Amino acid sequence: MSSELLQNKGVVVTRPREQAGDLVDALKAVGARPILFPAVQIEAPTNWQSLDDALHRLETFDWVIFTSRNAVAFALSRLQSQNLSWPQGPQVAAVGRETAKALREFGLQVDLVPKKFSSEGLLDSAELSDMQQRHVALFVGDQGRELLEKVLGERGAQVDKVLCYRRTLPGANPTPLLHAWARGELDAVILTSPEIFKNFYQMVGGLGQRWLKNTPLIAISPLTAEAITAVGLPEPWIAPEASTEGLMTALESWAKSRSSVDE
């Protein structure tokens, strides 16, 4: 895309800082100014029992499904800390490209990545259509959706939900962000999950919530967009796929629409 469209545009990145690198780099590459304001904090589970139990019996599963990069990071780091190795038996599925990339970085072969990066896309995959007598480990965080567990169970699978991490509300001070907003330095906000949006909406308070009505929002998925419009905000720009590339495409679409209005 033409870098002039996003040159010096202030774009808020709400992902956890440790996971924002690819998006920050992509924004800098087109001349934008990434503004980091993590709206979720990823922490270890309060109890490791669920994860440890699953890791010690991985060979008993037909499928192991990872629903996020966070699930990969916590599960496989824990695997290594327990001096365990990944067995030959189970097939591995990732909900999207970035989750699959994280798995490969740990040296795992990924057997299934859906064309549409979402739980719905995974469920549309032929490989998961007949799950009779299949044993599935679903590696998730807290506050996640129940869709995969529910539908795979309805298809005949025995599903073990394995808690790998938990999400908490950061204690960040929003005042510097609000000051930047007031100075006109904040042009768009990128939101990468319904939980992140809800946290961000809470963190910026009444003033920020009013400004959000006139601030372009970039949503990673229709589900995130639903959370945004549910509080009365305008329709956001939606990424065509749940990835850094998809987010940048949506941001480009916004920038082009703005450019055409200004002409």
Q: Which residues contact 64 (CB under 8 A, 6 or more apart)?
A: 58, 90, 91, 92, 93, 136, 137, 139
What is the reported pLDDT for 194? 93
Q: Which residues contact 46 (CB under 8 A, 6 or more apart)?
A: 166
What is the reported pLDDT for 1? 44
Residues constituting the chain: 263
Angle among Cα 73, 140, 228 to the nearest 5 degrees reads: 105
Where along the chain do its domains lie? Answer: 3-40+171-262, 43-168
Amino acid sitting at position 143? Q
Cβ pair 23, 244 in contact under 8 A: yes
Amino acid sitting at position 57? R
Cβ pair 10, 187 in contact under 8 A: yes
pLDDT digit string, tens, across residues 220-246: 999 999 999 999 999 999 999 989 999
The radius of gyration of the chain's CA atoms, rounded to the nearest angstrom, is 20
Mean pLDDT across the chain, nearest whole number?
A: 93
* CA atoms 139, 142, 147, 152: torsion sign: positive
70 pLDDT more than 60: yes
pLDDT digit string, tens, across residues 189-204: 999 999 999 999 999 9
**pTM exceeds 0.95:** no
**Highest CATH level, class, for 3-40+171-262:** alpha beta
pLDDT tier for residue 258 given thresholds of 50, 70 and 90: confident
Average pLDDT for 36-50: 94
* 3-40+171-262 and 43-168: identical CATH topology: yes
What is d(CA 12, CA 147) in angstroms, rounded to the nearest whole number?
A: 30
What is d(CA 175, CA 204) in angstroms, rounded to the nearest whole number?
A: 8
What is d(CA 152, CA 169) in angstroms, rounded to the nearest whole number?
A: 30
Cβ pair 33, 12 in contact under 8 A: no
**pLDDT > 70: what percent of the chain?**
97
Name the token pair of 235.
Answer: 């329709």
pLDDT digit string, tens, across residues 105-150: 999 999 999 998 889 999 999 999 999 999 999 999 987 778 999 9
Q: What's the DSSP call for residue 209?
A: H
What CATH number does the domain located at 43-168 have?
A: 3.40.50.10090
